[in-house]
Amino acid sequence: MKSDTLIEIDHVSFGYDASRLILNDVTLRFPRGKVTAILGGSGCGKTTLLRLIGGIHGVNRGRVVFDGEVVDARDRGQLRALRRRLGMLFQFGALFTDLTVFDNVAFPLREHTDLPDALVRDIVLMKLNAVGLRGAAGLRISEVSGGMARRIALARAIALDPELIMYDEPFAGLDLISMGVAANLIRKLNDTTGATSLVVSHDVSECLAISDHVVLMAAPGGRIVAQGTPKQLMDSTDPEVRQFVRGEPDGPVRFHYPAPPLAADLGLGA
């Protein structure tokens, strides 16, 4: 019987250099088959967490466990098998601008499988149909809007029917209509495919509307401020949680980075 947990972050610490840890002794569990939103301010380690799960970087301490198997960023064979099981929607899409819409979505199928061209064609058209863009298959990326590009990137992310779909800022730069379309697609695809979805974002309202579970992180060190259902976070009386989910300008999170008094820095004395 499979565990209810698909991904376990077990006392993980990571930094690009020894002087500053982006994640410091972080422990999390992501439930299988659910949409989990990972919220938090810039620099708290949200995207870094996705990179560690995908094996782009190895942890300094602790372990990342995917479906019972410890992820080893040095094991190329394991990573290739792992990445066959996950899809990634990169921030701003990261589409290949010299390829058509069709060829962008076909890329992971051609890279990771030996399927015949006819079957690749059918799968690509079905994935594009799922995001409402089957009619755009022949267009160049330069011919589509920002919202369409995000949906094309989503079609590419689900091309291999992944068990895990990771979304890095899927709503960034989108207008309100496109944002709503993207959010509904994330929820619909998760429910239809039975996949597990991790959504990294700053957009609180959209994430709370589509998520089963929410994690709120903060700097320094990827500190876990709170986690629970969207309702539990919205009803929280913790000042830091309230400030973030309600967008309040004043609270525990300060506007100014710690610094000496301005007068002292300007040499004006006390």
At residue 258, what is the residue type? Answer: P
Q: Give the pLDDT confidence score for residue 238 in this predicted structure.
A: 87
Confirm whether 252 is domain-assigned.
yes
Q: Is the pLDDT of residue 30 over 90?
A: yes
What band does 258 get if pLDDT is binned at 50, 70 and 90? low
Rounded Cα–Cα distance for residues 151 and 130 (Å) = 9
Q: Give the pLDDT confidence score for residue 211 in this predicted structure.
A: 94
Percent of the chain with pLDDT over 90: 41
- Number of domains comprising the chain: 1
Confirm whether 93 is domain-assigned.
no
Which range (36-40, 101-105, 225-229, 241-245) has the least confidence?
241-245
Confirm whether 149 is domain-assigned.
no
Q: Which CATH number covers residue 243?
A: 3.40.50.300
Rounded Cα–Cα distance for residues 147 and 133 (Å) = 11
Q: Is the pLDDT of residue 255 over 60?
A: no
Confirm whether 119 is domain-assigned.
no
Confirm whether 140 is domain-assigned.
no
- Tell me: cis bond preceding 116? Omega within 30 of 0 counts: no
Q: Give the pLDDT confidence score for residue 265 in this predicted structure.
A: 76
What band does 38 get if pLDDT is binned at 50, 70 and 90? very high
Confirm whether 186 is domain-assigned.
yes
Whole-structure pTM value: 0.84
Confirm whether 132 is domain-assigned.
no
Q: Is the pLDDT of residue 256 over 60?
A: no
Segments in 93-138 forming alpha helices (H): 101-112, 117-130
Mean of all residue pLDDT scores within the chain: 87
> Under 8 Å CB-to-CB from 127, ≥6 apart: which residues?
105, 155, 156, 158, 159
Q: What dihedral angle (degrees, nearest 10) is formed by the CA atoms of 30, 223, 228, 206?
A: -90
Rounded Cα–Cα distance for residues 6 and 29 (Å) = 8
The mean pLDDT of 88-104, rounded to a whole number, is 84
